[in-house]
């Protein structure tokens, strides 16, 4: 009897320090506490799409109350068939037909025959003479008249249809998690507010940015590392409400610098705005894996 291997993103004991974790100790429902931990990308030798992301148990984790949390999935669609109709190729002509301007211009022309100046009448008579000279038959005149009546019937109609407005899937954005983390001191403002906030800010920042030029770095460390001398921010996972979102990157962390403080300058209570993005775009299987 085969057994399903456990999911790699399930909660694991953390050897590192838990920052801001007194909410659970005070008896709050664990599903109301958000946990943010760093993860390590592994199994690269397995090929693309087979990487694993396990919790780095040697690093601290951050726990907090999560408020106004939002999980956003956004995809892009386009309507490429809009330009395949006559409206896209001859917009002015199609617009005149739909609005009735062509019919109005037609009637205006023939109404001008009664112009007191006689200029329009002379022009109309000249046109009639040309028609007779060229042998324009009554059947041709009938065709033109019929065409004019059909154009008049198109006024107020459009060539926009369900077919040429069909949406075509083009791409998906990374899923986005936004919300507010509540840090509040029960006993020690530094340990319960400042330390977890600083840890989040560190995860949102590059681990290390090189201060040397590529040439100097190449002479010291070799040109292979000098081309990529800096270290990017770590990947994280978010656990909340029985779901695990992994791997994620922290896009932004915003916290007020003016807040109630103790005598040491440690803030007593802070509401932190945080935004996280998935490392890649997600498909339906990623949504299923959130509860594993």
With 90 as the cut, is the pLDDT of residue 271 above it?
yes
pLDDT per position as a tens digit, 154-194: 666 767 778 878 888 999 999 999 999 999 998 899 999 99
Q: Where are the domains of the chain?
A: 18-74+173-289, 80-153
pLDDT per position as a tens digit, 36-71: 999 999 877 666 777 889 999 999 999 999 999 999
Which residue from 80, 72, 64 is spatially nearest to 26, judged by alpha carbons?
64
Which residue from 209, 202, 226, 179 is spatially nearest to 68, judged by alpha carbons?
179
Q: Which residues contact 210 (CB under 8 A, 6 or more apart)?
A: 217, 229, 230
What kind and span of H or E run contains 238?
Answer: strand 235-240
pLDDT per position as a tens digit, 210-249: 777 666 656 566 666 667 778 899 999 999 999 999 999 9
Q: Which residues contact 70 (CB under 8 A, 6 or more apart)?
A: 176, 177, 178, 179
CB 61 within 8 A of CB 258: no
Which residue from 277, 255, 143, 256 is spatially nearest to 202, judged by alpha carbons?
255
Give the Cα separation of 195 and 204 in Å (integer).
Answer: 14
Which residue from 204, 284, 278, 289 is spatially nearest to 244, judged by alpha carbons?
289
Q: pLDDT confidence of 109, banded at 50, 70, 90?
A: low
Q: pLDDT confidence of 14, banded at 50, 70, 90?
A: very low
- Taking residue 167's Cβ as centre, other Cβ atoms within 10 Å add up to 12
3-state secondary structure 75-96: EEEECHHHHHCHHHHCHHHHHH
Give me the pLDDT at residue 187, please. Answer: 87
Give me the pLDDT at residue 34, please. Answer: 95
Enumerate the β-bridge partners of residue 277. 176, 249
Q: Which residues contact 208 (CB under 8 A, 6 or more apart)?
A: 230, 231
pLDDT per position as a tens digit, 184-212: 998 899 999 999 999 999 999 999 887 77
247: cis peptide before it, omega within 30°?
yes
| DSSP SS3 for 229 | coil
């Amino acid at each position: 009897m085969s057994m399903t291997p456990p999911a790699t993103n399930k909660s694991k004991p953390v050897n590192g320090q838990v920052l801001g974790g007194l909410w659970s100790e005070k008896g709050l429902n664990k599903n109301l506490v958000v946990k943010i931990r760093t993860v390590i990308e592994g199994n690269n030798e397995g090929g693309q799409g087979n990487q694993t992301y396990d919790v780095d148990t040697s690093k601290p984790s951050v726990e907090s109350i999560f408020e106004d949390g939002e999980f956003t999935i956004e995809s892009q669609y386009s309507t490429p068939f809009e330009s395949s109709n006559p409206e896209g190729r001859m917009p002015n002509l199609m617009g005149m037909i739909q609005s009735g301007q062509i019919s109005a211009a037609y009637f205006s022309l023939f109404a001008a025959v009664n112009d007191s100046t006689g200029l329009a009448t002379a022009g109309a008579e000249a046109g009639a003479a040309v028609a007779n000279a060229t042998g324009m038959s009554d059947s041709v005149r009938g065709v033109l008249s019929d065409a004019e009546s059909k154009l008049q019937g198109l006024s107020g109609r459009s060539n926009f249809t369900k077919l040429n407005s069909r949406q075509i899937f083009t791409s998906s954005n990374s899923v986005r998690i936004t919300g507010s983390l509540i840090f509040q001191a029960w006993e020690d403002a530094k340990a319960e507010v400042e330390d977890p906030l600083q840890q989040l800010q560190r995860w949102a920042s590059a681990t290390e940015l090189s201060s040397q030029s590529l040439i100097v770095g190449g002479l010291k460390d070799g040109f292979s590392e000098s081309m990529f001398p800096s270290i990017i921010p770590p990947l994280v996972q978010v656990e909340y409400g029985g779901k695990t979102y992994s791997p994620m990157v922290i896009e932004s962390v915003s916290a007020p610098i003016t807040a109630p403080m103790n005598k040491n300058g440690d803030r007593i209570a802070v509401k932190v705005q945080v935004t996280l993005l998935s490392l890649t775009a997600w498909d339906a299987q990623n949504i299923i894996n959130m509860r594993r």
